[in-house]
Amino acid sequence: METVAGTSLIDPFAVAVDVDKGEMPEATNRQVRRASDMRGYYVDERALERLIEQESDPLHYEVFEVPVPNEYGHLMYCISKLQPGVVGEECFMTKGHYHTQVNTGEIYLCLRGEGYMVMKTSDGRFDAQPMERGKMVYVPPYWAHRSVNAGSEPLVSFCVYNAEAGHNYGDIQTEGFLKRVYRRGGEVVIE
Amino acid sequence: METVAGTSLIDPFAVAVDVDKGEMPEATNRQVRRASDMRGYYVDERALERLIEQESDPLHYEVFEVPVPNEYGHLMYCISKLQPGVVGEECFMTKGHYHTQVNTGEIYLCLRGEGYMVMKTSDGRFDAQPMERGKMVYVPPYWAHRSVNAGSEPLVSFCVYNAEAGHNYGDIQTEGFLKRVYRRGGEVVIE
Protein backbone atom coordinates (compact mmCIF):
# COMPACT_ATOMS: atom_id res chain seq x y z
CA MET A 1 0.00 0.00 0.00
CA GLU A 2 1.18 3.53 -0.70
CA THR A 3 1.87 5.39 2.49
CA VAL A 4 2.78 9.04 2.88
CA ALA A 5 6.33 9.87 3.98
CA GLY A 6 6.42 10.58 7.70
CA THR A 7 3.23 8.78 8.69
CA SER A 8 3.64 5.14 9.74
CA LEU A 9 1.05 2.48 9.03
CA ILE A 10 0.19 0.61 12.23
CA ASP A 11 -2.56 -1.81 13.23
CA PRO A 12 -5.73 -0.64 14.98
CA PHE A 13 -6.04 -1.30 18.69
CA ALA A 14 -8.29 -0.54 21.64
CA VAL A 15 -7.57 0.65 25.17
CA ALA A 16 -9.95 0.55 28.12
CA VAL A 17 -10.72 3.93 29.70
CA ASP A 18 -12.76 3.95 32.89
CA VAL A 19 -14.92 6.99 32.10
CA ASP A 20 -16.47 6.96 35.56
CA LYS A 21 -13.32 6.79 37.68
CA GLY A 22 -11.12 8.49 35.08
CA GLU A 23 -8.51 5.75 34.78
CA MET A 24 -6.62 3.96 32.01
CA PRO A 25 -5.61 0.69 33.68
CA GLU A 26 -3.84 -0.68 30.59
CA ALA A 27 -1.54 2.34 30.16
CA THR A 28 2.03 1.30 29.33
CA ASN A 29 3.49 4.77 30.05
CA ARG A 30 3.03 6.64 33.30
CA GLN A 31 4.68 10.02 33.76
CA VAL A 32 4.83 11.20 37.34
CA ARG A 33 5.44 14.69 38.75
CA ARG A 34 6.02 14.96 42.46
CA ALA A 35 5.95 18.12 44.57
CA SER A 36 9.74 18.42 44.20
CA ASP A 37 9.36 18.58 40.41
CA MET A 38 7.32 21.78 40.87
CA ARG A 39 10.06 23.97 42.38
CA GLY A 40 9.94 27.40 40.76
CA TYR A 41 6.29 27.19 39.79
CA TYR A 42 4.41 28.36 42.91
CA VAL A 43 4.50 31.80 44.55
CA ASP A 44 5.02 30.44 48.05
CA GLU A 45 8.30 28.53 47.71
CA ARG A 46 8.59 27.89 51.44
CA ALA A 47 5.14 26.29 51.54
CA LEU A 48 6.23 23.95 48.72
CA GLU A 49 9.39 22.96 50.65
CA ARG A 50 7.33 22.25 53.76
CA LEU A 51 5.01 20.05 51.66
CA ILE A 52 7.96 18.12 50.21
CA GLU A 53 9.47 17.62 53.65
CA GLN A 54 6.42 16.90 55.77
CA GLU A 55 4.57 14.68 53.31
CA SER A 56 7.58 12.80 51.82
CA ASP A 57 7.48 14.55 48.44
CA PRO A 58 3.90 13.63 47.56
CA LEU A 59 2.49 12.79 44.15
CA HIS A 60 1.44 15.93 42.26
CA TYR A 61 0.17 14.76 38.91
CA GLU A 62 0.33 11.79 36.57
CA VAL A 63 -0.15 11.20 32.86
CA PHE A 64 -1.19 7.72 31.66
CA GLU A 65 -0.84 6.76 28.01
CA VAL A 66 -0.36 4.01 25.45
CA PRO A 67 2.02 5.67 22.99
CA VAL A 68 1.60 5.93 19.21
CA PRO A 69 4.25 7.18 16.73
CA ASN A 70 5.10 10.88 17.22
CA GLU A 71 4.21 11.61 13.62
CA TYR A 72 1.77 13.68 11.60
CA GLY A 73 -1.60 11.97 11.23
CA HIS A 74 -1.36 10.04 14.50
CA LEU A 75 -3.23 11.29 17.55
CA MET A 76 -1.80 11.06 21.03
CA TYR A 77 -4.23 10.57 23.90
CA CYS A 78 -3.85 10.25 27.65
CA ILE A 79 -5.50 10.41 31.02
CA SER A 80 -4.22 13.38 33.02
CA LYS A 81 -4.71 13.17 36.80
CA LEU A 82 -3.92 16.13 39.06
CA GLN A 83 -4.12 15.77 42.84
CA PRO A 84 -6.11 18.24 44.98
CA GLY A 85 -4.37 20.57 47.42
CA VAL A 86 -2.75 23.95 47.90
CA VAL A 87 0.79 25.28 48.13
CA GLY A 88 0.26 28.10 50.59
CA GLU A 89 -2.99 29.45 49.14
CA GLU A 90 -2.29 28.47 45.54
CA CYS A 91 -4.19 25.54 44.05
CA PHE A 92 -2.24 22.52 42.81
CA MET A 93 -1.52 22.81 39.09
CA THR A 94 0.44 21.26 36.24
CA LYS A 95 3.59 22.94 34.91
CA GLY A 96 1.78 23.91 31.73
CA HIS A 97 3.27 24.04 28.26
CA TYR A 98 3.08 25.30 24.73
CA HIS A 99 3.33 22.67 22.06
CA THR A 100 6.72 22.61 20.32
CA GLN A 101 4.72 22.62 17.09
CA VAL A 102 3.07 25.79 18.42
CA ASN A 103 0.22 25.73 15.90
CA THR A 104 -1.38 22.57 17.29
CA GLY A 105 -4.27 22.42 19.75
CA GLU A 106 -5.52 19.95 22.34
CA ILE A 107 -8.84 18.60 23.54
CA TYR A 108 -9.54 17.93 27.22
CA LEU A 109 -12.66 16.01 28.18
CA CYS A 110 -12.95 16.32 31.95
CA LEU A 111 -14.13 13.11 33.65
CA ARG A 112 -13.73 13.94 37.33
CA GLY A 113 -13.03 16.77 39.76
CA GLU A 114 -13.27 20.54 39.57
CA GLY A 115 -10.86 23.17 38.39
CA TYR A 116 -9.75 25.35 35.52
CA MET A 117 -7.88 25.14 32.28
CA VAL A 118 -5.71 28.26 32.41
CA MET A 119 -4.41 29.43 29.02
CA LYS A 120 -2.37 32.22 27.48
CA THR A 121 -0.73 33.21 24.21
CA SER A 122 2.80 34.54 23.78
CA ASP A 123 1.37 38.03 23.13
CA GLY A 124 -0.50 38.13 26.42
CA ARG A 125 -4.06 36.94 25.77
CA PHE A 126 -5.47 35.13 28.80
CA ASP A 127 -8.33 32.69 29.25
CA ALA A 128 -9.56 30.32 31.95
CA GLN A 129 -12.27 27.71 31.33
CA PRO A 130 -13.98 25.96 34.25
CA MET A 131 -13.55 22.18 34.28
CA GLU A 132 -15.90 19.60 35.74
CA ARG A 133 -17.14 16.18 34.69
CA GLY A 134 -18.47 16.37 31.14
CA LYS A 135 -16.86 19.67 30.24
CA MET A 136 -14.82 19.52 27.03
CA VAL A 137 -12.28 22.32 26.85
CA TYR A 138 -10.88 23.26 23.45
CA VAL A 139 -7.29 24.51 23.73
CA PRO A 140 -6.73 26.11 20.32
CA PRO A 141 -3.38 26.14 18.49
CA TYR A 142 -0.90 28.73 19.91
CA TRP A 143 -2.32 28.65 23.47
CA ALA A 144 -0.12 27.53 26.38
CA HIS A 145 -2.25 25.56 28.83
CA ARG A 146 -2.17 24.40 32.44
CA SER A 147 -4.71 22.47 34.52
CA VAL A 148 -5.51 23.76 38.01
CA ASN A 149 -7.32 21.68 40.61
CA ALA A 150 -9.70 23.89 42.61
CA GLY A 151 -11.65 21.03 44.17
CA SER A 152 -11.21 18.35 46.80
CA GLU A 153 -10.73 15.25 44.63
CA PRO A 154 -8.37 14.50 41.72
CA LEU A 155 -8.97 16.51 38.53
CA VAL A 156 -9.00 13.95 35.71
CA SER A 157 -9.29 14.50 31.96
CA PHE A 158 -9.11 12.44 28.80
CA CYS A 159 -6.86 14.40 26.42
CA VAL A 160 -6.16 14.21 22.68
CA TYR A 161 -3.54 16.10 20.67
CA ASN A 162 -1.55 15.81 17.45
CA ALA A 163 1.11 13.15 18.03
CA GLU A 164 3.79 15.37 16.44
CA ALA A 165 2.96 18.34 18.72
CA GLY A 166 5.74 17.99 21.29
CA HIS A 167 5.93 19.80 24.64
CA ASN A 168 7.65 23.13 25.25
CA TYR A 169 7.82 23.79 29.00
CA GLY A 170 10.59 26.38 28.88
CA ASP A 171 8.92 29.40 27.27
CA ILE A 172 5.90 29.44 29.54
CA GLN A 173 8.08 28.96 32.62
CA THR A 174 9.93 32.16 31.65
CA GLU A 175 6.76 34.08 30.73
CA GLY A 176 4.45 32.86 33.48
CA PHE A 177 0.70 32.41 33.03
CA LEU A 178 -0.35 36.02 33.93
CA LYS A 179 -2.86 34.84 36.53
CA ARG A 180 -2.90 32.27 39.31
CA VAL A 181 -5.67 30.37 41.07
CA TYR A 182 -5.92 30.63 44.87
CA ARG A 183 -8.18 29.16 47.51
CA ARG A 184 -8.82 31.72 50.26
CA GLY A 185 -11.23 31.00 53.06
CA GLY A 186 -13.25 28.57 51.01
CA GLU A 187 -13.37 30.89 47.95
CA VAL A 188 -11.57 30.18 44.69
CA VAL A 189 -10.00 33.34 43.25
CA ILE A 190 -8.22 33.88 39.90
CA GLU A 191 -5.87 36.86 40.02
CA MET B 1 1.60 37.46 17.62
CA GLU B 2 3.24 35.40 14.88
CA THR B 3 0.94 32.71 13.59
CA VAL B 4 1.79 29.95 11.14
CA ALA B 5 0.23 30.18 7.65
CA GLY B 6 -2.81 27.93 7.44
CA THR B 7 -3.58 27.69 11.16
CA SER B 8 -6.03 30.28 12.50
CA LEU B 9 -5.77 31.72 15.98
CA ILE B 10 -9.12 31.42 17.77
CA ASP B 11 -10.26 31.84 21.36
CA PRO B 12 -10.57 28.89 23.74
CA PHE B 13 -14.04 27.60 24.50
CA ALA B 14 -15.80 24.77 26.31
CA VAL B 15 -18.67 22.49 25.29
CA ALA B 16 -20.73 20.30 27.61
CA VAL B 17 -20.64 16.56 26.83
CA ASP B 18 -22.95 14.29 28.78
CA VAL B 19 -20.53 11.40 29.26
CA ASP B 20 -23.23 9.24 30.85
CA LYS B 21 -25.96 9.62 28.23
CA GLY B 22 -23.56 10.29 25.37
CA GLU B 23 -24.99 13.63 24.28
CA MET B 24 -23.70 17.06 23.27
CA PRO B 25 -26.71 19.30 23.97
CA GLU B 26 -24.93 22.51 22.86
CA ALA B 27 -23.96 21.17 19.43
CA THR B 28 -24.51 23.76 16.68
CA ASN B 29 -24.19 21.22 13.85
CA ARG B 30 -26.24 18.05 13.57
CA GLN B 31 -25.73 15.76 10.57
CA VAL B 32 -28.50 13.25 10.09
CA ARG B 33 -28.55 10.04 8.02
CA ARG B 34 -31.91 8.35 7.57
CA ALA B 35 -32.52 4.82 6.29
CA SER B 36 -33.04 6.22 2.77
CA ASP B 37 -29.49 7.67 2.84
CA MET B 38 -28.16 4.11 3.21
CA ARG B 39 -29.34 2.73 -0.14
CA GLY B 40 -26.54 0.68 -1.69
CA TYR B 41 -24.85 -0.13 1.61
CA TYR B 42 -26.70 -3.21 2.91
CA VAL B 43 -26.84 -6.69 1.33
CA ASP B 44 -30.62 -6.99 1.67
CA GLU B 45 -31.87 -4.05 -0.40
CA ARG B 46 -35.52 -5.11 -0.17
CA ALA B 47 -35.36 -5.20 3.63
CA LEU B 48 -34.03 -1.64 3.58
CA GLU B 49 -36.89 -0.50 1.33
CA ARG B 50 -39.42 -2.14 3.66
CA LEU B 51 -37.85 -0.33 6.61
CA ILE B 52 -38.02 3.02 4.79
CA GLU B 53 -41.66 2.43 3.84
CA GLN B 54 -43.04 0.86 7.00
CA GLU B 55 -41.25 3.04 9.54
CA SER B 56 -41.42 6.37 7.65
CA ASP B 57 -37.71 6.49 6.76
CA PRO B 58 -36.39 6.25 10.32
CA LEU B 59 -33.33 7.93 11.77
CA HIS B 60 -30.19 5.87 11.17
CA TYR B 61 -27.34 7.87 12.66
CA GLU B 62 -26.45 11.39 13.77
CA VAL B 63 -23.27 13.37 14.28
CA PHE B 64 -23.29 16.30 16.73
CA GLU B 65 -20.52 18.89 16.68
CA VAL B 66 -19.43 22.44 17.37
CA PRO B 67 -17.18 23.17 14.39
CA VAL B 68 -13.64 24.53 14.45
CA PRO B 69 -11.60 25.67 11.41
CA ASN B 70 -10.82 22.80 8.98
CA GLU B 71 -7.13 23.52 9.25
CA TYR B 72 -3.92 21.85 10.35
CA GLY B 73 -3.41 22.09 14.12
CA HIS B 74 -7.11 22.24 14.94
CA LEU B 75 -8.87 19.11 16.18
CA MET B 76 -12.41 18.26 15.21
CA TYR B 77 -14.54 16.40 17.74
CA CYS B 78 -18.09 15.10 17.74
CA ILE B 79 -20.62 12.78 19.29
CA SER B 80 -21.56 9.98 16.89
CA LYS B 81 -24.88 8.24 17.63
CA LEU B 82 -25.94 5.13 15.68
CA GLN B 83 -29.38 3.61 16.23
CA PRO B 84 -29.83 -0.13 16.97
CA GLY B 85 -31.52 -2.43 14.49
CA VAL B 86 -31.06 -4.74 11.53
CA VAL B 87 -31.62 -4.53 7.78
CA GLY B 88 -32.59 -8.11 7.10
CA GLU B 89 -29.96 -9.80 9.28
CA GLU B 90 -27.32 -7.08 8.92
CA CYS B 91 -26.66 -4.80 11.88
CA PHE B 92 -27.20 -1.05 11.46
CA MET B 93 -23.97 0.67 10.49
CA THR B 94 -22.53 4.00 9.32
CA LYS B 95 -21.48 4.48 5.70
CA GLY B 96 -17.84 4.44 6.69
CA HIS B 97 -15.07 6.50 5.14
CA TYR B 98 -11.40 7.03 4.55
CA HIS B 99 -10.12 10.47 5.39
CA THR B 100 -9.44 12.61 2.31
CA GLN B 101 -6.08 13.31 3.93
CA VAL B 102 -5.62 9.54 4.00
CA ASN B 103 -2.68 9.62 6.45
CA THR B 104 -4.74 10.91 9.37
CA GLY B 105 -6.26 8.80 12.15
CA GLU B 106 -9.20 9.11 14.52
CA ILE B 107 -9.96 8.36 18.14
CA TYR B 108 -13.32 6.94 19.25
CA LEU B 109 -14.14 6.83 22.94
CA CYS B 110 -17.29 4.75 23.25
CA LEU B 111 -19.74 6.09 25.85
CA ARG B 112 -22.79 3.89 25.31
CA GLY B 113 -24.03 0.78 23.51
CA GLU B 114 -22.34 -2.24 22.00
CA GLY B 115 -20.88 -2.87 18.58
CA TYR B 116 -17.77 -2.90 16.46
CA MET B 117 -15.44 -0.51 14.74
CA VAL B 118 -14.89 -2.23 11.38
CA MET B 119 -11.75 -1.12 9.52
CA LYS B 120 -9.81 -1.87 6.37
CA THR B 121 -6.94 -0.51 4.31
CA SER B 122 -6.92 -0.04 0.54
CA ASP B 123 -4.63 -3.09 0.16
CA GLY B 124 -7.05 -5.39 1.96
CA ARG B 125 -6.04 -5.52 5.62
CA PHE B 126 -9.08 -6.00 7.85
CA ASP B 127 -9.71 -5.34 11.52
CA ALA B 128 -12.72 -5.16 13.84
CA GLN B 129 -12.50 -3.83 17.41
CA PRO B 130 -15.34 -4.42 19.87
CA MET B 131 -16.93 -1.24 21.23
CA GLU B 132 -18.64 -0.76 24.55
CA ARG B 133 -18.73 1.99 27.18
CA GLY B 134 -15.16 2.95 28.08
CA LYS B 135 -13.50 1.32 25.09
CA MET B 136 -11.22 3.70 23.21
CA VAL B 137 -10.61 2.54 19.65
CA TYR B 138 -7.58 3.88 17.81
CA VAL B 139 -8.24 4.14 14.07
CA PRO B 140 -4.72 4.63 12.66
CA PRO B 141 -3.92 6.74 9.58
CA TYR B 142 -4.82 4.97 6.27
CA TRP B 143 -7.65 2.85 7.74
CA ALA B 144 -11.22 3.26 6.45
CA HIS B 145 -13.63 2.90 9.37
CA ARG B 146 -17.29 2.21 10.00
CA SER B 147 -19.26 1.82 13.25
CA VAL B 148 -21.65 -1.12 13.54
CA ASN B 149 -24.31 -1.34 16.25
CA ALA B 150 -24.63 -4.94 17.45
CA GLY B 151 -26.63 -4.13 20.59
CA SER B 152 -30.10 -3.00 21.55
CA GLU B 153 -29.49 0.65 22.44
CA PRO B 154 -27.80 3.49 20.52
CA LEU B 155 -24.04 3.12 19.97
CA VAL B 156 -22.53 6.44 21.02
CA SER B 157 -18.92 7.62 20.84
CA PHE B 158 -16.95 10.78 21.46
CA CYS B 159 -14.63 11.17 18.43
CA VAL B 160 -11.57 13.31 17.72
CA TYR B 161 -9.70 13.72 14.43
CA ASN B 162 -7.45 16.19 12.62
CA ALA B 163 -9.67 19.09 11.51
CA GLU B 164 -8.07 19.07 8.04
CA ALA B 165 -8.73 15.31 7.54
CA GLY B 166 -11.84 15.50 5.34
CA HIS B 167 -14.17 12.59 4.53
CA ASN B 168 -13.85 10.32 1.50
CA TYR B 169 -16.97 8.13 1.25
CA GLY B 170 -16.56 7.18 -2.42
CA ASP B 171 -13.53 4.85 -2.40
CA ILE B 172 -14.78 2.61 0.39
CA GLN B 173 -18.25 2.44 -1.18
CA THR B 174 -16.61 1.02 -4.33
CA GLU B 175 -14.25 -1.32 -2.43
CA GLY B 176 -16.59 -2.50 0.31
CA PHE B 177 -15.43 -3.37 3.84
CA LEU B 178 -14.57 -7.09 3.16
CA LYS B 179 -16.71 -8.29 6.07
CA ARG B 180 -20.18 -7.51 7.40
CA VAL B 181 -21.77 -7.86 10.82
CA TYR B 182 -24.97 -9.91 11.13
CA ARG B 183 -27.33 -10.83 13.93
CA ARG B 184 -28.63 -14.36 13.46
CA GLY B 185 -30.80 -16.02 16.08
CA GLY B 186 -29.38 -13.90 18.89
CA GLU B 187 -25.75 -14.40 17.78
CA VAL B 188 -23.57 -11.64 16.33
CA VAL B 189 -21.48 -12.91 13.43
CA ILE B 190 -18.75 -11.14 11.41
CA GLU B 191 -18.28 -12.68 7.97
**What was the ipTM of the complex prediction?**
0.95
Cα→Cα distances B43→A113, B91, B179, B191, Å: 47, 11, 11, 12
Neighbours of B182 (CB within 10 A): 18
- In 3D space, the residue among B138, B43, B135 whose CA is nearest the CA of residue B93 turns out to be B43
Which one of B7, B24, B111 makes the best mutation probe of the A interface by having the most chain A beta carbons within 10 Å?
Answer: B7
Neighbours of B85 (CB within 10 A): 16
Report the alpha-carbon distance of residue B117 to residue A12 in Å, rounded: 10
pTM score, whole prediction:
0.96
B127/A contact by beta carbon, under 8 A: yes
Collapsed DSSP state (helix, strand, coil) of residue A53: helix
Q: Which of residues 60-119 of A touch B (CB under 8 A)?
A: 68, 72-75, 77, 101-107, 109, 111, 117, 119
Residue of B3, B19, B101 with shortest CB distance to A134: B19
Report the alpha-carbon distance of residue B158 to residue B143 in Å, rounded: 18
Q: Can you list the domains of chain A with their CATH numbers? A: 29-185 (2.60.120.10)
- In 3D space, the residue among A28, A68, A65 whose CA is nearest the CA of residue B105 turns out to be A68
Helical (H) or strand (E) element with B50: helix B45-54
Q: For every one of its 191 residues, what pLDDT tens digit does chain B have, with 9 covering 90 and above?
A: 889 999 999 999 999 999 999 999 999 999 999 999 999 999 999 999 999 999 999 999 999 999 999 999 999 999 999 999 999 999 999 999 999 999 999 999 999 999 999 999 999 999 999 999 999 999 999 999 999 999 999 999 999 999 999 999 999 999 999 999 999 988 999 99
Which one of B13, B17, B138, B156 makes the best mutation probe of the A interface by having the most chain A beta carbons within 10 Å?
Answer: B138
Helical (H) or strand (E) element with A48: helix A45-54
Beta bridge partners of B115: B131, B149
